[in-house]
């Protein structure tokens, strides 16, 4: 049931944000993700002391801004000339090829690194991307991205925060920085929060990554991050920097399974109060198969693209709904924007598909002039939400296993739904008042005519 008169808060469109690290971002048009997360590539920007090559970065940030998105810039990895000396003495067990790389080490010259970060942040903030959001590193809990000690990471995070603050003061712009962008929730969250807070530059948000097949895990990880942050966790916005269906070669990335998972995950995160989530990733590698990108390398849209792009465009107020059941693998969400009510239904389970179809009796509880519903269904690899089928308002909505369904109801006329009962009441009251006035006026005229004819109001004559 969708209760048209009860709001549940504003729609969180920023959950349909994304990351961009490969391909042509224009391939995701006309999806307008609220935020696009990109890496500064400090190792390429600063190939040597005194060298700064910003053209590529400014071009990428400008592309994000021109498409109407807010860039979020990761200030990483370490330039080779700053990390080389510590890499030479790095000792780690055999692991990823990039472990102990200079790009994953603390700077040998912290002042030079801080100056570099400030220059990059200033250029990004004042350039075509007009960046306002920055992030201190990426996945420092993985040797591939950080092979140095945890203490040296928190030292680096403080340097990044101080450098961004210096850029904010020099430009007069409202720049913010957060982190720590862990690959999974862990104790480094608290160490990061405590170190930056002691330095007087606390984080503006907390970030982490989750790859899973269970939408509920997105929320449990968020709860873990909030708890690990200590007292600050209750007030800081939570940003799931990277998320998608687990398994880089998962066939679900290209079919209805990925779309159903994405919609279920979005609903879970919105209900849990997350501020932002970035789907990993926007564009697939050119010839990759089962890649998590929302479009193929040649630009063809995957089913998940329709879910994310529609979510980003579904502004308005959420409505109170019933019928969601995590145990039964069913999620329901409704958003009202003016007279249009958008209802989203997801059915998803991690495991073999049940191959059955639930019939959902969708009830709009409240005044709505809609005579029919437009139903769009993604239930196979080739499905999209490009077009839908009209169904009677009283007809059940089919919800196949591993599907994402978008139902649209136009409740015109244009009178806002919550005001319609009041308008009707006022109209009834007005009509009643007019009728009473007419009756009173008519009664007075009748009395005058009776008196003129020699009759009293009681109907007897004045003489015999």
> Chain-wide mean pLDDT for the chain?
88
Q: Is residue 323 part of a domain?
A: no
Q: Is residue 342 part of a domain?
A: no
Q: Is the pLDDT of residue 208 over 90?
A: yes
pLDDT > 70 fraction of the chain, expressed in percent and rounded: 88
- State the pLDDT confidence band at 327, using cuts at 50, 70 and 90: confident
Question: What pLDDT score does 463 carry?
Answer: 37
- State the pLDDT confidence band at 95, using cuts at 50, 70 and 90: low
Encode pLDDT of 186-196 as tens digits. Answer: 999 999 999 99
Q: Is the pLDDT of residue 123 over 60?
A: yes
Residues 125 and 131: beta-carbon distance below 8 Å: yes
| Burial (Cβ within 10 Å: 0-12, 13-18, ≥19) of residue 225 | buried
Q: Is residue 114 part of a domain?
A: yes
* Residue 206: CATH number of its domain: 3.20.20.80
| Burial (Cβ within 10 Å: 0-12, 13-18, ≥19) of residue 257 | buried
Q: Note down the domain range covering 180.
A: 12-314
Q: What is the mean pLDDT of residues 225-244?
A: 97
Encode pLDDT of 368-419 as tens digits. Answer: 888 789 999 999 999 999 989 999 988 999 999 999 999 999 998 643 433 3
Q: Does the predicted model carry a pTM greater than 0.75?
A: yes
Q: Is residue 455 part of a domain?
A: no
Question: What pLDDT score does 91 carry?
Answer: 82
Question: What pLDDT score does 192 carry?
Answer: 98
Q: Is the pLDDT of residue 94 over 80?
A: no
Encode pLDDT of 263-311 as tens digits. Answer: 999 999 999 999 999 999 999 998 888 899 999 988 999 999 999 999 9
Residues 232, 235, 236, 240: what is their CA dihedral angle, to the nearest 10 degrees?
Answer: 110
Q: Is residue 70 part of a domain?
A: yes
Q: Is the pLDDT of residue 5 over 90?
A: no
Give pairs for 293-300: CB < 8 Å, separation 24+: 293/22, 293/23, 293/253, 294/18, 294/28, 294/31, 295/27, 295/28, 296/254, 297/23, 299/24, 299/27
Ramachandran angles phi, psi of 430, nearest 5°: -65, -45
Q: Is residue 71 part of a domain?
A: yes
Q: Is residue 401 part of a domain?
A: no
Residues 408 and 373: beta-carbon distance below 8 Å: yes
Q: What is the mean pLDDT of residues 250-273?
A: 96
Q: Is residue 98 part of a domain?
A: yes
User: How many domains are there within the chain?
Assistant: 1
- State the pLDDT confidence band at 261, using cuts at 50, 70 and 90: very high
Question: What pLDDT score does 412 carry?
Answer: 83
Cα 116 from Cα 110, distance rounded (Å): 10
């Amino acid at each position: 049931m969708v209760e048209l008169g009860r709001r549940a808060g504003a729609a969180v469109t920023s959950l349909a944000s994304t990351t961009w690290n490969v391909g042509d971002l224009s391939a995701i048009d006309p999806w307008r993700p609220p935020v696009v997360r990109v890496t500064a590539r400090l190792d390429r920007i600063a190939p040597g002391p005194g060298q700064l090559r910003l053209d590529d970065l400014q071009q990428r940030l400008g592309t994000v801004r021109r498409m109407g998105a807010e860039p979020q810039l990761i200030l990483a990895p370490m330039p080779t000339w700053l990390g080389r000396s510590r890499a030479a003495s790095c000792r780690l067990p055999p692991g990823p090829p990039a472990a102990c790389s200079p790009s994953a080490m603390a700077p040998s010259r912290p002042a030079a690194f801080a100056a570099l970060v400030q220059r990059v942040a200033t250029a990004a903030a004042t350039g075509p991307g007009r960046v306002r959001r920055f992030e201190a590193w990426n996945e420092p809990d993985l040797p591939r991205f950080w092979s140095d000690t945890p203490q040296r990471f928190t030292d680096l995070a403080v340097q990044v925060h101080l450098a961004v603050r210096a850029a904010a003061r020099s430009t007069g712009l409202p720049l913010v920085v957060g982190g720590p962008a862990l690959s999974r929730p862990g104790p480094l969250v608290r160490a990061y929060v405590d170190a930056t807070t002691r330095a007087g530059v606390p984080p503006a948000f907390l970030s982490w990554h989750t790859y899973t097949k269970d939408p509920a895990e997105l929320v449990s990880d968020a709860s873990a991050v909030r708890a690990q942050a200590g007292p600050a966790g209750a007030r800081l916005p939570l940003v799931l920097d990277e998320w998608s269906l687990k398994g880089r070669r998962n066939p679900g990335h290209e079919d209805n399974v990925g779309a159903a998972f994405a919609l279920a995950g979005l609903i879970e995160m919105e209900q849990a109060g997350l501020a932002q989530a970035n789907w990993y990733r926007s564009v697939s590698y050119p010839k990759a198969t089962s890649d998590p990108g929302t479009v193929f390398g040649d630009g063809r849209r995957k089913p998940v693209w329709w879910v994310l792009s529609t979510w980003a465009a579904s502004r308005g107020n959420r409505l109170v709904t019933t019928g969601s059941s995590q145990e039964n693998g069913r999620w329901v969400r409704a958003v009202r924007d003016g007279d249009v009510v958008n209802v989203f239904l997801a059915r998803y389970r991690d495991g073999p598909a049940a191959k059955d179809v639930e019939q959902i009796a969708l009830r709009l509880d409240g005044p709505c002039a809609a005579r029919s519903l437009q139903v769009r269904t993604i239930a196979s690899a080739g499905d999209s939400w490009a077009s839908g089928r009209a169904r009677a308002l009283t007809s059940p909505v089919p919800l196949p296993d591993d599907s994402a369904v978008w139902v649209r109801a136009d409740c015109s006329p244009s009178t806002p739904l919550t005001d319609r009962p009041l308008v009707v009441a006022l109209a009834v009251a007005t009509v009643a008042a007019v009728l009473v006035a007419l009756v009173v006026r008519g009664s007075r005229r009748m009395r005058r005519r009776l008196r003129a004819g020699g009759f009293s109001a009681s109907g007897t004559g004045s003489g015999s």
